[in-house]
Structure 1
Amino acid sequence: MQNPQPDLRSHEADVGGIRMRWDERGSGIPVVLVHGIPTSPQLWRKVMPLVDGARLMAWEMVGYGHSIPEGRGHDISVRAQAGYLLEWLDAQGLDRVVLVGHDLGGGVVQIAALRHPERCQGLLLTNAIGYDSWPIPSVKMLRAAGGLVRRLPAGMIKAGIFRMLMARGHDDAQVARESLALHSAPYAEHGAGEALARQVRSLEVNDTRVVAGELPTLAGVPARVVWGAADQFQKIEYGERFARDLDAPLERIEGGKHFTPEDHPDRIAAALGALLREVSERASSQP
C-alpha cells in the first residue's frame, strides 16, 4: 500500500526505562493523538495528512502496536497509560498540548487532562471510552477466557476476534479489510494471544468511573466531541454526555460506527482544525 504520508517520521525514545514510540508530521501547535484497542498510531494515518498548522504526534500506548513487548512486566491499564503519556510529554519538553483520543485513548487523554489541566490546550474525543461505558461485552468475554486467548494462534485471532471487531466497528467495508491487515500485523509479530490477553486483563472501568465527576472542571478548555452515531461499542449517549460535561459541541456522524478516524478522517480532521483555530484565537487574545 502506498504511504499516504511521505513526510511522516517515526521516533523512539527511552522514557523512564520504557521504550516509547510515536509517529510525527507537521509543525505548529503540538497535538497528541492516542489510539485504542486493538489499534496503534496507524489509526490516525488518514487524519494526519488532512491537518495543517500543527505538530501532530500519534503516540503509541505501552503494550500496543510495535510497543507490545514493552507491556511485559508493566502496568498497561488506562490509568497507567495516562501517567506514561505525561512522562513522555515531559521527556519531549511539551508543556501544553492539544489532546485527541479514540476508544481507550479517549480515556487516557481524559485522565491526563484532569491530572494536569494547565497542560491541556484543547481536547477532542471521538468514540471514546468513559464513565461506565466499557469494557464492552466482547472484551469482557475475552478477559474471562484469558487462558484460552493466550494459547490462540495469531491466524485465529486475526480471522476470528479481530475480523469481528473490524466488521462491527467499521461502516466502510473496504477500510475494515485494510485495517484488519494493518492492525493485526504487530500482534502476529509479537505473540498475538499473549499480547491480547495482557491487554484485556488490564482494562478496569474504575479508571474512568472515578474521574467522571471531574469532567465538568474541564469545561473551560476548548473541546470537540465527534461521534459515529451507529457505534455498537461506544453508544452515542456517551458522546452526548461528554458534550454536556465538557460544554463542547457534538458532531454526530450519522451511520458512522466505532473506527471514525479510519472511516471518516475528513470529519475528524475538520473538527480538529476548528479546535486548533479556537486554541490559536484564545492564545492570541491573551495579554
Structure 2
Amino acid sequence: MKRRAFLGASTGLLAACTSGLPHWGGAGHAGTSGAAWFHAARRHVATPFGRIACVERGSGPAALFLHGFPLNGFQWRGAMARLAPYRRCLAPDFLGMGYTEVAHGQDCAPDAQVAMLVALLDALSIERVDVVANDSGGAVAQLLVARHPHRVRTLLLSNCDTEVDCPPPALLPVIELAKQGRFVDDWLGAWHADHALARSSEGIGGMCYADPAHPTDEAIDTYFGPLLSTRRRKANAHAYAIALERNALAGIGPALRRSPVPTRIVWGTADTIFSTASPTFLDNAFGASRGVRLLAGSKLFWPEERPDVIEEEALRLWHASAAASRQGEPR
C-alpha cells in the first residue's frame, strides 16, 4: 500500500472505532491513576531467559509494546487502556528492567532481548504481533523485524535508535556510570528519593518528557523502585546499559529494506537524545515504510504522555494493513 493511500485509508473506520471509546485506568493524563490495575494484571511467564514480567489486557490479535530505558511496561498503560478493545495488548519488561526476574548468568543485550521476546510469544502461543516500540525498545523491535519478519504484522516506531545513531552520544555518560556500578544509585536512586528532582530540568523529566507533571509519582516508583530493590537487580540494570554501548543495529540496513512489515514512524521533534535526522533515516530504511508523523514539542518518552496519538496511529496502521491484505495488496 502506497504512503498516500495509507494516510487516507480507514479514516472513516478509525473515527467509528474511536467514537465513544472507554478510556479507563491510566489514560496518560497528569494525575490519572493507572498503577493499581497495572500491578494487579502483571504475571510472570517462565522462559529459558528468566521469569518475564508481562502485563496483558484485552483480546483479539496480539499487540506487543516494547518500552524504553530505564522504564518498564508501565510506560504503555495509557495506550493499552485505549487499544485493549481491539487487541490483546502485551507489555513485557525487558531483561534487566522492571519486574522481570533474569536467569542467573543471562546477559541483557539487545540480541538476548529479541530471543527472549520470541520465547515469550512461544510460551503464550502467539504466532504474530503488531509491535509498538520506543527508545531502546525500538532497536529491539528493528532486530525482531529483521530476524523474525514472519512474527510481526506491523511496526509502529517512536523515537529510538537507528543504525547510524546507536547508541546516541547522549547515552554515553550513562553507560560509563553503569560500568562503574553507579548509575542506578547515583541517578535513579536520587530521582526515586526526590520526585521533584526527577521532574526537574536536571532529572529524567526535563530530559525526556515535555509535560512538567511527568513522570508521575506512581511512574517514578514503578520504574525505579524494582531496579533499586536488590543488588542483583542493580547489576542487571547496569548490564542492560553497558550492553547498549555496542551498535546492535550495525549492518541491519539490507534486512529492513527487504522487510515486508508495514512500518509507521511517529517522532517527537523536541527529543534531545536521538538525532533530528533519525525519522527521515528510518523512513528511508524500511522497504515498507508508511511515512513519518512529526510531533512538535514532544520529547523521547512522548508515548507515555500522548497515548491518544499511539491509539490513533496504531488503529490507522492496523486497519490499513488489514484492508491491504484483504485486497491482496502488499501490506
Using the size of structure 2 for normalisation, the TM-score is: 0.78
Contact 1:103 1:128 in 2 (8 A): yes
Q: Which runs of 5+ in 1 are unaligned?
A: none
Q: CA deviation at 1:237?
A: 1.4
**Superposed, which structure 2 residues align to 1:5-16 within 5 Å?**
6=37, 9-16=41-48
Residue by residue over 1:85-134, the C-alpha shift from the partner in whole angstroms, topping out at 9 and shown as x without a partner, is 11211222211111111111111111111112122111111111121323
2:97: which partner in 1? 64
**Superposed, which structure 2 residues align to 1:166-185 within 5 Å?**
166-178=205-217, 179-185=219-225
Question: Are positions 1:197 and 2:238 aligned together?
Answer: yes
SS for the counterpart of 1:175 is coil
Q: 1:184 to 1:150 in 2, by over 3 A?
A: closer
Q: CA deviation at 1:63?
A: 1.3
Q: CA deviation at 1:42?
A: 0.2
Identify which range, 175-184 or 73-82, moves more after superposition.
175-184
Contact 2:48 2:103 in 1 (8 A): no
- Distance across 1 between alignment mates of 2:302 and 2:254: 26
Contact 1:135 1:204 in 2 (8 A): yes
Match of 1:250 among 292, 299, 302: 292
Q: Percent identity?
A: 23
Residue by residue over 1:259-286, the C-alpha shift from the partner in whole angstroms, topping out at 9 and shown as x without a partner, is 0111211111110111111232234335
Partner amino acid, structure 1, of 2:222 = L
2:33: which partner in 1? 2
SS for the counterpart of 1:152 is helix
Identify which range, 141-150 or 124-133, moves more after superposition.
141-150
Contact 1:35 1:43 in 2 (8 A): yes
- The number of residues matched between the two structures is 285
Contact 1:149 1:193 in 2 (8 A): no
- Distance across 1 between alignment mates of 2:244 and 2:130: 25
Q: CA deviation at 1:72?
A: 5.1
- Distance across 2 between alignment mates of 1:156 and 1:17: 30
1:212: which partner in 2? 253
- Distance across 1 between alignment mates of 2:278 and 2:184: 34
- Flag the structure with larger Rg: 2
- What is the RMSD computed on CA atoms of the aligned residues? 2.6
Q: 1:150 to 1:119 in 2, by over 3 A?
A: closer
- Distance across 1 between alignment mates of 2:36 and 2:291: 30
Contact 1:29 1:97 in 2 (8 A): yes
Contact 1:63 1:70 in 2 (8 A): yes
- Distance across 2 between alignment mates of 1:21 and 1:209: 29
Partner amino acid, structure 2, of 1:279 = S
1:270: which partner in 2? 312
Q: CA deviation at 1:250?
A: 0.6
Question: Are positions 1:22 and 2:58 aligned together?
Answer: no
**Superposed, which structure 2 residues align to 1:127-166 within 5 Å?**
127-145=159-177, 146-149=179-182, 152=185, 155-156=189-190, 158=192, 159=194, 164-166=203-205
SS for the counterpart of 1:230 is coil
Partner amino acid, structure 1, of 2:190 = M
1:259: which partner in 2? 301
Identify which range, 162-171 or 55-64, moves more after superposition.
162-171
SS for the counterpart of 1:268 is helix
Q: CA deviation at 1:44?
A: 0.2
- Distance across 2 between alignment mates of 1:93 and 1:223: 24
